[in-house]
Amino acid sequence: MTKTIQGEAVPVLGLGTFELTGPAGEDAIRAAIDIGYRQIDTAIRYGNEVEVGRAIRSSGVARAELFVTTKIWFNDLQPDTVHQRVDESLERLGLDQVDLLLVHWPAKDIPLGETLAAFAEEKGRGRTRLIGVSNFTVALLDEALDVHKADLFCNQVEYHPFLSQQKLLARMRRAGMLLNAYQPIARGKVFDNDLLAALGRKYGKSAGQVTLRWLVQQDGVGAIPRSARPENMRANLDIFDFELSPDDMAAIHGLASGQRYSRFDWEPAWDD
């Protein structure tokens, strides 16, 4: 299943590849492609772009069928370094172009306008089809979109039933952007929730599948669950044969408590 964002068809459910490294990681990524995943999310920081590239080549799936994302770490966002990191990423991936290039985290000491201009240059050179950001707040998006007039496709952020992103979503919808949810099943915590378990029984699904369906059923939202096990990969994809009722969607929204599972010294001042 795809969603059309800014005229681009993007798979609504992708594979997060954090910690999928080495031969086992390559095998897991290849298994995901074989199972049917067509969005693959990596990053320089993950240390597995080589594995992603090998899995893509060995899969035999046409490059045009895949949506490949990589990201540049916050201390490498100076313009000259951006260009160098893209060179290196494309070489490791064995690709001429990625589909989406993201700022991995906002930098506090590098002017955002300079970074976004360098990203736009990479898009202009054809080394990425689209550009975007990750872990950006409403204020940071306002700066990027209103001050620097950046042409952003995506903001990748933590999003799950225990963390409301409604303020951010409203801003992104006004801009026509994709919110791609990482840690969408809250590090497995959704499986311990009574409401999600009950809804799973109602729909004949697991709490994780209900959660992923809740995410992709929202306008402008996709998800990139990480899994190394083919059985879990298959289960995560098995969410397109049912639809949550409006009341059930609202009930899941009601679980939000502001809980974040990704906390770092370098994070921005969050909206929620």
Q: Which residue type sits at 72?
A: I
Can you point out the beta strands (E) in 135-224?
Answer: 154-158, 178-182, 221-223
Taking 3-state DSSP, the helix, strand and coil percentages for the chain, each rounded to the nearest 5, stand at 45, 20, 35
Q: Are the C-beta atoms of 206 and 235 separated by less than 8 Å?
A: yes
Both tokens assigned to 92: 């490791």
Can you point out the beta strands (E) in the chain?
Answer: 2-5, 8-11, 15-16, 39-41, 67-72, 98-103, 128-134, 154-158, 178-182, 221-223
Both tokens assigned to 111: 């002017």
Burial (0-12, 13-18, 19+ Cβ within 10 Å), 49 = buried
Residue 81 CA to residue 239 CA, distance in Å, equals: 40
Q: Are the C-beta atoms of 31 and 73 separated by less than 8 Å?
A: no
Q: Are the C-beta atoms of 215 and 161 separated by less than 8 Å?
A: no
Active centre residues (catalytic)? 46
Q: Are the C-beta atoms of 183 and 160 separated by less than 8 Å?
A: yes
